[in-house]
Amino acid sequence: MTFHIINGPNLNLLGKREPEIYGNSTFEDYFVTLQRDFKMCELHYFQSNHEGAIIDHLHNIGFSSDGIVFNPGAYTHTSVALADAIAAISSLVIEVHISNTFARESFRHHSYVSPVAKGIIVGLGLDGYRLALQYLYTKHYC
């Protein structure tokens, strides 16, 4: 079982800035705990600050991955191109947001990605990624 996690712009700063919103852990450290907890799966992590690079990556993995956990960062609220890429691939995509975007500025309340995602996990911190993987794993095995 191969799952992919994709983080969008600025999420490389996790654990380094704004801990009151995004927590203290870097994603690289958190990813190690996910790999330990999902030993039975092959997990891959990709982060980019560039929309086109994320789209290329979705095209590359989106017909073979058993599931994609995707936090598009601020592109969530702006990118028709990302939504089109997700609609074009066959792998299941779960949209995850660390913060509760609905409790924040109104421009964060709309997502171009949500309509083309299988489901959405919002506001549960980094646990959202774990819960999304748990869902994907259960869906394939139970």
Scanning residues 12 to 51, which ones bind ligand CA2 (CB under 6 A)?
Answer: 13-14, 17-18, 22
- Residue among 47, 48, 65, 71 that touches ligand CA2 (CB under 6 A): 71
Angle between helices 80-88 and 51-61 (to 10 degrees): 10
How many residues touch ligand CA2 under the rule CB under 6 A: the total is 16
Beta bridge partners of 120: 95
Is 97 part of the annotated catalytic residue set? yes
Scanning residues 75 to 104, which ones bind ligand CA2 (CB under 6 A)?
Answer: 76, 97-99, 101
Is 22 part of the annotated catalytic residue set? yes
* Active-site position among 22, 30, 112, 129: 22
Contact criterion met (CB below 8 Å) for 112 and 82: yes
Residue numbers annotated as active site? 22, 97
Residues in the site for ligand CA2, rule: CB under 6 A?
Answer: 10-11, 13-14, 17-18, 22, 71, 73-74, 76, 97-99, 101, 108
